[in-house]
Chain A
Amino acid sequence: MLTFVIQSLVNGILIGGVYSLIAIGLTLIFGVMNIINFAHGALMMLGVFFTYWLFTLGHVDPYLSILFVVPSMFLVGAVFQWSLIRPIMNAPEHNQLFLTLGAMLFLQNLAVFLWSPDYRIMKTPYSGVNFYVGEIALSLAHLMAFGMAILFAAILYLILHKTDLGRAIRAASEERTGAMLMGVNIKRIYWVAFGMGTACAGVAGTAITPFFPIYPYVGDIFVLTAYVVVVLGGLGSVFGAFLGGIIIGVADSVGAMLLPGSMKSIMSFVIFILILLFRPKGLFGK
């Protein structure tokens, strides 16, 4: 029984890392641009497929492929912002929602069109490798995903807090006009931040490929949870998103222990509603 509980919690924490990574990208974009990006899951799916094709066609190690995924997803995000988001920055909120939603549907259908809705599985040397502590199994691929989440959260944190670019991004998110008056090139900040957020989604995509089936709708499974995480952590808070991911991962595990089947998500959604009711700013929101 104890083994079972520990095993569940460990897996909850590890998968929570993936939620964190996705949520960090989402929260960064929201923090800077005040846009809820529905296409985030679809962008994550692009990261999944980038990794998959690099591995299948180029025999690139999936973890090495982040060296390619990060810059290319950054570029995708920057272009996405420049071509689609920029023109509607000052449009009403619902227009922005529809646009990102439309982009999501387009990207998913494009993936179905290009790569078919087929399930694919990447047979990497990492899949199926487990370390056992007593009876507790630690899957290497899950550990790596968690490690990548910590690494990228830390990198992002350092960029935001220790570099001029990061300071400019934070300034832009806190006070758009003020930052502009201080000489921050706000348009550049927008596409840079969007690129960084997209790169996070891409890395999350890379992280799951060794243990998750690959198909055009893969983003849907993770990204809904990521919205909950973002609200929990506080819209715009990177650290909040990171911690929120772990909390939700564990909440899902606890939910699965106590409740049957699809009911397990009740746990995370109850947290979601409670946060909205009692602390709408989220744990670390300003």
Chain B
Amino acid sequence: MKKGKRALEGKGISRRDFMKSTAAAGMAAAVGSIGFPAVLRGAEPKEILIGHIHPLSGFLAFDGQEMKKATEFGIQQVNAAGGIKSLGGAKLKLLDGDSEGKPEKAISEVERLERAGVVAITGCYQSAVTIVATQIAEKLKVPFVVAVASAEEITKRGFKYTFRIQPASSMFADQVCRYMTEIAKAKGDKIKTIAYLHESTQFGTALADYTVEYAPKYGLELILRVPYSTKAADVSTEVGKIKAAGADLIFDSGYFGDGVRVLRTMRDLRVNAKAIVGVANGAFSHPKFIQELGDLADRVMDSNYQVNPRSDYAVKTLAEFKNKFAADMSPSMAYSYQPIPVIADALERAKSTKREDLREALTKTNFTRHILPQGPIVFGPDGQNKNANTLLMQILKGKIEEVWPEEYSTAKVVYPVL
């Protein structure tokens, strides 16, 4: 049994090498390496390679493939607008890196992309993977613009090559506590207690840690936190603990597949609270979540990064994406898309494809042609986007609406939801 498991893990690497050299495995290889660069011939302008690392296979493959679509869309958009003009209209090209959802895989993928000559890398959807990937990128001096990964420490290690557009965990935790307090106050209600159900890797753990830290600032208290494994077949005991706590608010952080399981179990066990609020949840504000769960998803909230619903440019960009890929762009996808225009802008200003020049240009970013609910994208000395904002969303009548803060809202918040 044990021997078998070790063989399983070892096999992953040799499979990859094997597939690359074997035409017989063509079908599987096509899956593993969609979009692998084709050699271009003729006198086209120089191509600029950008790498992305996402879980393209493995248990998060669904999420990873979505992020890839969004990243690819960014590349197409930049190229359609004439490429990098200061570099003679050079076109961008995306190189795939597959993390398989495992931090150890990210190491070899960063190294591989570096050797392939990418000017920058983006990714990785999971904090645990991103922490490792940015570390290797720092060592190899490759600018890394984090797409989706919320862990605070990513931008807290004094790295010079790491940049992040999305809000960090602490901002998520801080803002969700603030929004919920503001809403309760506006509705003449008093809230005090929070119970937090979260997946047990870095992503969920860090969010819960910061909620413990920031809740008291708003007179709130985290009375129970229950971590769960994304690989658990059944989460009813974990949800049962949350139910028994009887808190005013239930916070939840997880990915898509487990998020569906969690909400279903909450409905099965008739869990009640003034609000069920996702914090950076991979499921609760995903268009597919409503599509699949219907009424069960009604009134669920999610405090998450989101595109700016009141920006014409954002609306136009989302429509373009839908046109191309026949799918809605989820907020995670929007943040996987956003690094590409930011990198393109920096390349434009750097007038160079040297990684050091690009890094230099990224530090001076002041980017307004974005789709996010915030002012210009400006990186602080730690590489974190200083103006990053989350929005509170709520599923109302089968639609995801932005409900808070009011300046970005598309509908009135329904609270309490009992």
User: Is residue A144 contacting chain B, with contact meaning CB distance below 8 A?
Assistant: no
User: Is residue B227 contacting chain A, with contact meaning CB distance below 8 A?
Assistant: yes
Q: Which residues of B contact A132 (CB under 8 A)?
A: 270
How close is A73's CB to chain B, nearest CB, in angstroms? 20
How close is B374's CB to chain A, nearest CB, in angstroms? 30
User: Is residue B328 contacting chain A, with contact meaning CB distance below 8 A?
Assistant: no
User: Is residue A56 contacting chain B, with contact meaning CB distance below 8 A?
Assistant: no
> In the complex, which residue of chain B has the Cβ closest to the Cβ of A118?
B62
Q: Which residues of A contact B227 (CB under 8 A)?
A: 260-262
| Contact of A260 with B226 at beta-carbon distance under 8 Å, contacts A113-B30, A216-B61 already known | yes
- Bound together, the chains give a CA A252 to CA B240 distance in angstroms of 14
| Contact of A113 with B31 at beta-carbon distance under 8 Å, contacts A119-B257, A128-B296 already known | yes
Q: Which residues of A contact B11 (CB under 8 A)?
A: 98, 101, 105
| Contact of A101 with B7 at beta-carbon distance under 8 Å, contacts A4-B240, A252-B234 already known | yes
How close is B339's CB to chain A, nearest CB, in angstroms? 22
Q: Which residues of B contact A262 (CB under 8 A)?
A: 200, 227-229, 231-232
User: Is residue A62 contacting chain B, with contact meaning CB distance below 8 A?
Assistant: no
| Contact of A123 with B294 at beta-carbon distance under 8 Å, contacts A7-B269, A8-B237, A110-B27 already known | yes
Q: Which residues of A contact B270 (CB under 8 A)?
A: 132, 135, 137
How close is A11's CB to chain B, nearest CB, in angstroms? 4
How close is A228's CB to chain B, nearest CB, in angstroms? 8
Decide: B1 and A221 in contact? CB cutoff 8 A. no
Decide: B234 and A113 in contact? CB cutoff 8 A. no
| A253 interface neighbour in B237, B256, B260, Cβ under 8 Å | B237
Q: Which residues of B contact A227 (CB under 8 A)?
A: 1
Q: Mark A92-108, 1 if CB is under 8 A from B, else 0.
A: 00100110010001100
Q: Size range of the interface on B?
A: 35 or more
Listed stretches A82-90, A162-170, A176-184, A207-215; interface member: A207-215
How close is B170's CB to chain A, nearest CB, in angstroms? 21
How close is B365's CB to chain A, nearest CB, in angstroms? 33
Decide: B57 and A117 in contact? CB cutoff 8 A. yes
- Bound together, the chains give a CA A16 to CA B411 distance in angstroms of 44
Interface residues of B in 300-345 (CB under 8 A from A): none
Decide: B236 and A7 in contact? CB cutoff 8 A. yes
Q: Which residues of A contact B64 (CB under 8 A)?
A: 117
Decide: A112 and B200 in contact? CB cutoff 8 A. no
Decide: B61 and A117 in contact? CB cutoff 8 A. yes
- Bound together, the chains give a CA A252 to CA B256 distance in angstroms of 22
Interface residues of B in 202-241 (CB under 8 A from A): 226-229, 231-238, 240-241
Q: Which residues of B contact A130 (CB under 8 A)?
A: 268
Decide: A256 and B237 in contact? CB cutoff 8 A. yes
| Contact of A112 with B234 at beta-carbon distance under 8 Å, contacts A123-B292, A139-B268 already known | no
Decide: A4 and B268 in contact? CB cutoff 8 A. no
Decide: B234 and A94 in contact? CB cutoff 8 A. no
Q: Which residues of A contact B296 (CB under 8 A)?
A: 128
User: Is residue A220 contacting chain B, with contact meaning CB distance below 8 A?
Assistant: yes
| Contact of A117 with B237 at beta-carbon distance under 8 Å, contacts A7-B269, A227-B1, A260-B226 already known | no
| B292 interface neighbour in A121, A216, A221, A265, Cβ under 8 Å | A121
Decide: B61 and A112 in contact? CB cutoff 8 A. yes
Decide: B261 and A213 in contact? CB cutoff 8 A. yes
Q: Which residues of A contact B243 (CB under 8 A)?
A: 4
| Contact of A137 with B257 at beta-carbon distance under 8 Å, contacts A4-B240, A113-B30 already known | no
User: Is residue A185 contacting chain B, with contact meaning CB distance below 8 A?
Assistant: no
User: Is residue A12 contacting chain B, with contact meaning CB distance below 8 A?
Assistant: yes
Decide: A231 and B240 in contact? CB cutoff 8 A. no
- Bound together, the chains give a CA A94 to CA B11 distance in angstroms of 12
| B233 interface neighbour in A110, A120, A225, A231, Cβ under 8 Å | A225
User: Is residue B8 contacting chain A, with contact meaning CB distance below 8 A?
Assistant: yes
> In the complex, which residue of chain A has the Cβ closest to the Cβ of B227?
A261
What 17 additional pairs, Cβ within 8 angstroms, besides A109-B57, A128-B267, A257-B241?
A: A12-B237, A98-B11, A101-B8, A105-B11, A113-B27, A118-B62, A120-B292, A123-B292, A128-B268, A137-B270, A216-B61, A221-B232, A252-B234, A253-B236, A260-B226, A264-B237, A276-B1
**Interchain residue pairs with CB less than 8 A apart (9):** A101-B4, A105-B28, A106-B28, A119-B260, A217-B58, A253-B234, A253-B236, A262-B228, A276-B1
